[in-house]
Amino acid sequence: MKFSHTSSFHAWIASVALCTLFHNSGLAQEWDLHLKQIQKTIDPKVSINLDDTLDAMTGLDEAEVTGDKKREVEKLLTELLAREEPIKLSGGSSRIPPLMLLKAEAVRLLRKFGDVETIPALRAFQKRDQRERFFPDESVEQAIELLSKTKADAGPEVASDAWREPWKKTEEGRRFLTLSDEMATGSHGVAARARSELLRSGNPVVDFLVDSLLHHEHLVGRRSSAYLLGQIDDPLTVPYLVKALDEQDENVLWTVITSAGFMEDKRATEKTIPLLDHKRDRIRVAAAQALVRLRDPSSLDALILHIDKYKIGRSRARAAEALGEIGDRRAIPILFKTMTNKHLVTREYAAMAYAKLVTEEELLKLPEFMIAGKMDPREVQLAFEEHYQNDFIVPEGVSLSDCAKSFKEQVEAIKEGKALRTRVPKKSEIEREVEEVD
């Protein structure tokens, strides 16, 4: 029996359709296996094989996903980002904590499969876990940048890439553009090398970094530019950092505030003060820490009001520290009141600031409040240590009266030249955090 060309073509089409059906069926089955493996990461009671889970994530990455499947993946990945309990392993190992490793992979997949609706989950992950070791900081920021659809997420003055045109005209400018894009979108290692290259480029790079700070399309590019300008510490760039305090993205704004504070230029004070009332405590902390370094008397009233207005938050501790640096005795009443606050860190910073403003006679009255039970020995100890720049010992197992007596005896020993040990100033938490950016 002979077949016409037409019937042969139809037979071939049917054969292809059948093969496609079996192929798609296999892909669907494989897809389901990937999802089931990743779903195990959601249940804290289930132990998982790390290698199999990573393979499943790779399998999803290679798949073409649309419609309901896409939404299913988004939901699964955002649930993984929200998990707080450690991962239990039945196999596989990693030097990175398994939970953070899998969350980093989830971020990578959300860049591909997510949309603007997944941004809140990424921001929540960022806010909750950003201080954890191995947190994929740049990957999260890049994912948010990629998924962002609104002007608010894009930040100020980044609607076009017209700022690039003048830099494209010279070889040096083109090199700067390449490096700025690498630090904005590259891997951690690539971005770090790009930042180092720009930092070593000398004075010509300063104007470029100012442009990048104000106009770069990627929030990581703007944030990295702010960081580098803080490192270069050129007073001529302060007005541009002040302008960048209008930045809408929280992470970029945090770095701009910090860099402006590091430069210790009082021109930044006026626009930093309103940030003490920012909706995010992290930004309030950065603003207060910047005011610590600016030491501007014009911020005195705002800092006092801030401590009185907010009943909780680390920003109150930094505001107290700033009052100590400014050195105006009008801050003494609020600092004394804050030394009896229920929050330990705020009390401690207030005690150290108080010690910088009072006379020795006023300081030596603190043990009386301790004996009366109105002040903790720890705050009295810190105040004495700050005032005399010496270590003090809180005796164990003694009454408050004997503790007060011991403090006064240690003061006499210091005056007689029998100092226990001169204190070495420690770097603040903010300083340590900024140093880790690079």
Q: Point out the least confidently predicted range of 27-41, 128-142, 287-301, 407-421.
A: 27-41
Please say if the pLDDT value at position 351 is more than 90.
yes
Distance separating alpha carbons of residues 224 and 426, to the nearest angstrom = 26
Contact criterion met (CB below 8 Å) for 370 and 392: no
Label residue 130 by pLDDT band (50, 70, 90): confident
Nearest to 136 by CA among 173, 108, 177, 175: 108
Q: Point out the least confidently predicted range of 12-16, 119-123, 132-136, 320-324.
A: 12-16
Please say if the pLDDT value at position 155 is more than 50.
no
pTM of the model: 0.64
- Count, residues in the chain: 438
Distance separating alpha carbons of residues 244 and 228, to the nearest angstrom = 14
- Place domain 154-263 in its CATH homologous superfamily: Leucine-rich Repeat Variant (1.25.10.10)
331 exposure class (CB count in 10 Å sphere: 0-12, 13-18, 19+)? buried
From residue 350, alpha-carbon distances to 96, 114, 251, 255, 386 in Å are: 38, 45, 28, 25, 11
Nearest to 334 by CA among 353, 361, 315, 312: 353
Distance separating alpha carbons of residues 314 and 310, to the nearest angstrom = 10
Please say if the pLDDT value at position 347 is more than 70.
yes
Query: Please, what is the end-to-end C-alpha distance for the chain in angstroms?
Result: 76
pLDDT value of position 434: 45
pLDDT value of position 68: 67
Please report which residue ranges of 186-218 form alpha helices under DSSP H.
188-199, 204-215
Domain boundaries, the chain: 16-149, 154-263
Q: How many CA atoms lie within 13 A of 98 on its CB side?
A: 20
pLDDT value of position 201: 94
Distance separating alpha carbons of residues 402 and 410, to the nearest angstrom = 12
pLDDT value of position 404: 95
Written as six digits, the tokens of 414 are 């210091």
pLDDT value of position 401: 95
Please say if the pLDDT value at position 16 is more than 70.
no
Q: How many CA atoms lie within 13 A of 253 on its CB side?
A: 25
% pLDDT > 90, the chain: 50
**What's the rounded mean pLDDT across residues 156-185?**
86
Residue with tokens 């900024």: 434
Residue with tokens 């301790």: 370
pLDDT value of position 358: 97
pLDDT, tens digit, 9 for 90 and up, residues 281-297: 889 999 999 999 999 99
Please say if the pLDDT value at position 301 is more than 90.
yes
pLDDT, tens digit, 9 for 90 and up, residues 61-102: 766 656 667 778 888 888 899 998 988 898 888 888 889 989
Please say if the pLDDT value at position 123 is more than 70.
yes
pLDDT value of position 342: 84
pLDDT value of position 208: 97
pLDDT, tens digit, 9 for 90 and up, residues 42-53: 888 889 888 888
Please say if the pLDDT value at position 38 is more than 70.
yes
Distance separating alpha carbons of residues 324 and 27, to the nearest angstrom = 66
- Per the rule left: phi > 0, alpha: psi between -120 and 50, beta: everything else, 134 is left
**What's the rounded mean pLDDT across residues 425-434?**
50
Residue with tokens 């501790």: 317
Helices 137-147 & 98-113, crossing angle to 10 degrees? 20
Highest-pLDDT range among 4-18, 99-113, 139-153: 99-113
pLDDT value of position 290: 97
For residue 49, report the phi and psi dihedrals to the nearest 5 degrees. -90, 115
